[in-house]
Amino acid sequence: MKKALLASLVLWSHCAMAAVINFEVQFTPFVGDLAMSNVQTVPGKAFIYLNNVLVAEQDVEKKSVPVLFDNREIAAAIWVPVKSLGGLVRKGTNTVKIEFLPTDAKASYQSRLQWNEVTDQVKEQRSGGAASSTNRGGEGMETKKSQGRIVLERDFTGDFATDLPWHKYPSVSALNDEDKQKLVALVKDRAEAFKPNFDPIYQLLGAKPEIQVAQIRKVGCLEKAHAAGVRVPIPDAADLEFATTGTAAVVIARKSGWLYPFDEKAFARLKGEQLQMCAGIALSVAYPPRLVVAKTPDGRWEVVF
């Protein structure tokens, strides 16, 4: 009895120390029987939001995907590891939302949302003489009968997030004319920063831990891209739209397409796959499809994502 109690206490202590380091959401629109080994994904377009900020758009193609394990998990058409979204994740409650628009708006299908936490420890499980290990926890799933547009949401606690100053800025519920003028100027200034000596761009890239700025400088891909004729187009003010999110974050986008629509023909003049990839990565980070900005307490606007 004492040994069993001691073992239980050791196990409890081990599990109690496991910390959540990420949260993952998987989404799959499908048709077929979950009792079978495969189902068919439904083609369409998915829009992924975190805390009402549109972070990605992704096409879903029609294909066969496996149904796995006793709980009938479906291989994900869309996978969102939220920690990869950096400063958009806040401590406390966050919400992931996936909106899906099927190609055929009249066809019936099912939507599967799956989620799990990722912890910093691996736990072992035994069942029927078989052993397995995982660092996943807090797992769950939701399946809905669907037709046309579907929206699925899941809340999670972002204790693994990094607290950033803008997380505490006042929420923005509306923009006045002065705000919009400042945001138009911000978009213009960022585009005009792409010029020799590129110091503002290197500073932007340096704020991203995953970007190897030293390697980009060594290759000289920004300088060579500019020499080849690559330019950052300045979108017309009339083409811009601004979306509040219920927090300090405001999203700046073009009404159609990327905020800064590059000329692909100019990139084609860059010689070599390595140079094209280097320039493509650097410029896509500095000039993303949309900008997320926040207003400081003293009235300045700054890019936060």
The one-digit pLDDT tens for each residue of the chain (305 residues) are 544 444 444 444 445 568 999 999 999 999 999 999 999 999 999 999 999 999 999 999 999 999 998 889 999 999 999 999 999 999 999 999 999 999 999 999 999 999 999 998 888 776 666 666 788 888 999 999 999 999 999 999 999 999 999 999 999 999 999 999 999 999 999 999 999 999 999 999 999 888 999 999 999 999 999 999 999 999 999 999 999 999 999 999 999 999 999 988 888 899 899 999 999 999 999 999 999 999 999 999 999 99
Q: Which of 129, 157, 185 is the last residue of a domain?
A: 157
User: Are 239 and 123 members of one domain?
Assistant: no
Tally of CB atoms within 10 A around 275:
17
- Please count the other Cβ atoms lying within 10 Å of the Cβ belonging to residue 191: 18
- Residue 11 located in a structural domain: no
Residue 227 belongs to a domain: yes
Q: Which domain holds residue 208?
A: 166-303
User: Is residue 250 a part of any domain in this protein?
Assistant: yes
- As a residue count, the chain comes to 305
What is the count of structural domains for the chain?
A: 2
Report whether 251 contacts 292 (CB < 8 A): yes
Give yes or no: residues 77 and 188 share one domain: no
d(CA 137, CA 87): 23
Query: Are 140 and 199 in a shared domain?
Result: no
Pair 125, 198 in one domain = no
* Structural domain ending residue among the three candidates 112, 128, 157: 157
Q: Is residue 216, in this structure, part of any structural domain at all?
A: yes
Is the same domain home to 285 and 170?
yes
Q: Is 292 in contact with 305 (CB distance < 8 Å)?
A: yes
